Structure 1
Amino acid sequence: MYLRRASVALVSALVGYGAYYSYSGNSTSSLIQRAYSGSTAATGTAAADAAAPTRSVLVIGADELHTGTFVGEGPISKTTGDDGRRVIEMLTPEQATRKLRRSEQSYFVNRGRGVVRYDLVQLPSNDPIEDDHAEKIVEVPGRSPGSESSDWMFWGVFDGHSGWTTSAKLRQALVSFVARELNDTYKAAGELAPSHDAVDLAIKRGFLKLDDEIVNKSVQKVLQANSKVAAAELLAPALSGSCALLSFYDSRSKLLRVACTGDSRAVLGRRSESGKWTATPLSVDQTGSNPDEAARLRKLHPNEPNVVRHGRVLGGLEPTRAFGDASYKWTREISDKLKQHFFARSVSSILQTPPYVTAEPVITTTKIEPEKGDFVVLATDGLWEMLTNEEVIGLVGKWLEHQNRSSGSSSGGGATSQFNSVWRRIFGSRSTTGLPVEAAAPTPGGGAGGGQKTPFRGVRQWGGASDGFVVQDPNAATHLVRNALGGKNQEQVSALLTLPAPFSRRYRDDLTVQVIFFGDGGEPTGDVVVNEDATAPARPAVKAKL
């Protein structure tokens, strides 16, 4: 995508709903043509234009975006030709910031259990947004009488596709399914802690049981009900799909498990001896372009040369693991029966030995070290299309340095003071220029290691550089999204936030980002409290225990 400057001027009076636009720029062809020819240019318009306001506009083409100016009063929203090119008024930097912060949330976790704060934000591109998220804290009684309780803390991001219903189902149910399986596993272990393998198996069972309910049990209910209304409601989460990234932190063991189904990603930031941060991926992107995933599918379906084609399952679906996506899981018999009696999708001619896609996650386990300032970023792939792991971790590190400097000159109280004191102990008075992150280790062939996709959009692709990053948002997740969209380049940020659906989908995906900060310090009150400075207005002042 390219952003270019253009000149868009109103050179005739408004007649009805039409206007005449002229374009001059460095493009090889005019992007803006006559939209309505009901008037001709009148004399004296130059003087009128001099008194009229000048506003920024965005010209949306098939492959390019142009920014320009519009002289005159009235609304600016015009389709300029049969090819769908449009001119719309661009958001001001202030309006862009309000849109960027519309869904942001931030919470102080005053429980003394190793987590001090978490921030999150969403930015839609689809309408409605197909991403979703979940956060929950479960207080777990001690394993023996009189022993201290602990917390299970869950954070999850869900990247929906072909609709929003599957990700919404995950928001409603995934944590509960996993927590139930974990509870059974810990109970069976008695006073002893269950083995690592047993915990991983419990998480996998939770994922698979929920997907079975979405994909298979829904079919049973639909056939029993024999109703198209019931089919529409019950089959929607099966026919759409969603990736899932769920983190599970046990405050007793200080172990963080990340379960990944699909291509959302979790990355750990940790302060090194050099004073910079290291970026450690805690998940692997599971797509047809990942050699390990492609080999797994080819082994499961040995006589099907098209099981992975162009980096996609059967040439269609990019993630190799996902919830829903029943058309890649149902047998031909089930698909034909649903199509005959209801309205399910047609069966692909190359569907031979389903299921091709699984919801079983790959799980990593990491020992959290709060004294090293550990934090974790969980995000749907819309962020990783724009920024590398190192850029994301370096940006949070830069944001933390800014928070540390700001806290040194202010006297905040309560949870804010507690959070700032944690970071002052880690940072001291140090500060760095640029992004304070260690360089990524080289990988064979120069590509991303471990199946990780590399960004194909973002600051570098749009002509920026690391010195174009900016710190101006009190919410760490919002800070990441702003810099993914352009950072200091306010015109680019405004342009990308101005784009309406479905045009926006050409240039950016839905974005959901969570940042979890670990640390010890302060007197625990047991409350989870809204950080009003980094939360969109109109939210409750205090959030009950999750």
Structure 2
Amino acid sequence: MSRVVVQASRAVRPVWILAANRPSAQSISNTSVRGLRTYSSSRRSTFLPVALQTSMHLRRFSIAALSTAVASGAWYAYQGDAKVQSLVSHVRGFASSAVTSAHAEDPSDPTRRALLVSNDQFYTTTLSEDQPLAKTTDDSDRRVLNMLTPEQATEKLRKNEESLLVNRGNGVIRYDFSQVPSNSPIEDDHAEMIVEVPSDVAVNTSGNPNSDWNFWAVFDGHSGWTTSAKLRTKLIGYVARELNETYKAAATDASVLVPSSEAVDAAIKKGFVLLDHHIVNESVDKVLKAQSRRVAAELLAPALSGSCALLSFYDSDSKNLKVAVAGDSRAVLGRRGPSGKWTATPLSEDQTGGTPSEIKRLREEHPGEPYVTRNGRILGQLEPSRSFGDATYKWTKDIQDKIKQQFFGRTPSPHLKTPPYVTAEPIITTTKIDPTQGDFVVMATDGLWEMLSNEEVVGLVGSWLEQQQSGNGGSKAWLQSWFGFEQKKLPVEAANDASTEGQRRPIRQQQYDISGAESRFVVEDKNAATHLIRNAMGGKDRDMVSALLTLPSPYSRRYRDDVTVEVIFFGQGPDSRTVAINKEATAEQEAAKAKL
């Protein structure tokens, strides 16, 4: 995840040619791939295979229109919503301006489908079969590599998927997880845990002799992977410890027995804040005492990088689901409405320097500082307004100068006056879950929400459930992958303005104003989280999915983010006190990792 604005570089950007082995009877049109976004490249190509040179010389479309359309992702990142609508007409014109090359290939020659990335353009062309694939071919760092086939793209999509069947009779019946990297290594992380509540803590007001605390968490790292990795190993433990103390205190008070919702919220917040204090402040004390650059490099890494955190806590006794968020990862509840369609209810608010409620809070906490938020970013640089780590927005200038002089570091922002500007204290929502109604929750890092709306995500899970229930998840699934859904629209209620307040629309929808987007969705995965990621990457458009997954790090980051998704299904399941691997929806290398 890219979260910090840095000075734009004038260095030459590499050009990648992505080739897919596929026969073709004629040359392929220079056709745009909609939905992809890239930063600009100012250097013209000096070497290309003959077929590509021909295609480039014969195209007859507007370079300005191409540059505007394909580079709009970068423009949006810096300019915000005000510039987006003005791009729509350019994009629509660009989408209909594809021109067929006048160069006729010999129909008998086998060719390879290719995507050419060059000079702000992203379009299809052909490569002759006898042209070799290569690494660096000249000083402009141009490379050629095979584009993934749809089958290889599917393998990559499913590489990290997991699914667990929860047979504990406490309202959670299954949860699916999947993750696709863009950064290398991936900066996202995740953690899950089920805690059987001990008898001295459990009150069992529901009459169930056994109750569980269920935790699910996704972490969206930025400026490195170390903070999110720290959260994976520590956050649930910190929160569970505080909850344990809170529940035990209530159980010993005959007049209380069960802690209030406010007390539970306070315990979760305390767990978040204590861990961030350990990462950001206690690490400094240890480093200054050790006086060692090696120790500094190890201890300060999680403080200097950063991570958003989204944690869900479900108490099977009270049926309350607490969703705590610090950052802009998001949780959405799917629930059947009176019409039989699903409704999408956001359980969190995106917390960035562009969120109205966060702007108000920051300006009240830092009066007289006009740069506290600028262009939707803290001090004009960091996007999340709540996160773990990100110590340069929390340390005083004196501490930062001391760290820089004795070890390493960056010069503090000239706008740094009254830190901390960023906090790890989460905002928490409480939702009563009804397992008898088949509620589900989708938790995901913003790599998913950049591509799909709340309603699209809930509708996609609803369609996935309908296929599983109809029995088409097996041998007939390939029919769905070819012909799409039987229904013309997703089974989800339309959003109202109030339900999306404080949340950003997907960048794809803002930039390209895509109409009829539902026609691109497909159901062909056993894992619900993988199903969502596939449709975020292009769904039925297999070329789009293959292209997005072929681009290697770090260049892929211009078109897609790391994506981490969890889908939690609530229901009335059997009680065998077990958690089992769902092998049909779990990657083979994960089959031995049963968790509890």
* Contiguous gaps of at least 5 residues in structure 1: 8-16, 32-45, 411-430
Aligned pair 1:22/2:53, yes or no?
A: yes
In the alignment, what sits opposite 1:64?
121
Contact kept, 8 Å, 1:532 with 1:541, in 2: the verdict is: no
In the alignment, what sits opposite 1:271?
336
Aligned pair 1:158/2:219, yes or no?
A: yes
Question: How far is 1:164 from its partner?
Answer: 0.5
More displaced 10-residue stretch of structure 1: 198-207 or 142-151? 142-151
Aligned pair 1:253/2:318, yes or no?
A: yes
Q: Deviations over 1:155-198 (max 9, x none)?
A: 00100000000000000100000000000111111151111111
In the alignment, what sits opposite 2:35?
none
In the alignment, what sits opposite 1:361?
426
In the alignment, what sits opposite 1:519?
571
Question: How far is 1:476 from its partner?
Answer: 0.4
In the alignment, what sits opposite 1:372?
437
If the length of structure 2 is used for normalisation, what is the TM-score?
Answer: 0.78
Aligned pair 1:112/2:169, yes or no?
A: yes
Question: How far is 1:537 from its partner?
Answer: 1.1
Distance 2:62 2:594 in 1: 55
In the alignment, what sits opposite 2:373?
308
C-alpha spacing 1:505/1:461, structure 2 compared with 1 (3 Å): farther
More displaced 10-residue stretch of structure 1: 471-480 or 50-59? 50-59
Aligned pair 1:476/2:528, yes or no?
A: yes
Contact kept, 8 Å, 1:6 with 1:23, in 2: the verdict is: no
Distance 1:176 1:231 in 2: 25
Distance 1:527 1:247 in 2: 21
**1:137-152 mapped onto 2 (5 Å cutoff):** 137-143=194-200, 148-152=209-213
Match of 1:135 among 192, 196, 205: 192
In the alignment, what sits opposite 1:454?
505
**1:81-480 mapped onto 2 (5 Å cutoff):** 86-143=143-200, 148-190=209-251, 192-406=257-471, 432-443=487-498, 449-457=500-508, 465-480=517-532
Distance 1:5 1:499 in 2: 21
May I ask how many residue pairs the two structures share in their alignment?
Answer: 494
C-alpha spacing 1:79/1:112, structure 2 compared with 1 (3 Å): same
Question: How far is 1:457 from its partner?
Answer: 2.0
Q: Secondary structure at the match of 2:546?
A: helix
C-alpha spacing 1:146/1:349, structure 2 compared with 1 (3 Å): closer
Match of 1:496 among 522, 536, 548: 548
Aligned pair 1:538/2:569, yes or no?
A: no
C-alpha spacing 1:23/1:196, structure 2 compared with 1 (3 Å): farther
More displaced 10-residue stretch of structure 1: 497-506 or 221-230? 497-506
Aligned pair 1:505/2:557, yes or no?
A: yes
Structure 2 residue identity aligned to 1:494: S
Question: How far is 1:26 from its partner?
Answer: 5.1
C-alpha spacing 1:246/1:19, structure 2 compared with 1 (3 Å): same
Distance 2:459 2:62 in 1: 39
C-alpha spacing 1:254/1:26, structure 2 compared with 1 (3 Å): farther
Q: Secondary structure at the match of 2:259?
A: coil
Identity across aligned pairs (percent)? 62
Question: How far is 1:78 from its partner?
Answer: 5.5
Q: Secondary structure at the match of 2:401?
A: helix
C-alpha spacing 1:76/1:172, structure 2 compared with 1 (3 Å): same
Q: CA RMSD in A?
A: 2.7
Contact kept, 8 Å, 1:207 with 1:359, in 2: the verdict is: yes
Structure 2 residue identity aligned to 1:384: W
C-alpha spacing 1:230/1:375, structure 2 compared with 1 (3 Å): same
Q: Secondary structure at the match of 2:508?
A: coil
Q: Secondary structure at the match of 1:319?
A: coil
Contact kept, 8 Å, 2:467 with 2:473, in 1: the verdict is: no
Contact kept, 8 Å, 1:61 with 1:84, in 2: the verdict is: no
If the length of structure 1 is used for normalisation, what is the TM-score?
Answer: 0.85
Distance 2:306 2:337 in 1: 39
Contact kept, 8 Å, 2:441 with 2:569, in 1: the verdict is: yes
Distance 2:345 2:364 in 1: 29
Question: How far is 1:527 from its partner?
Answer: 1.4
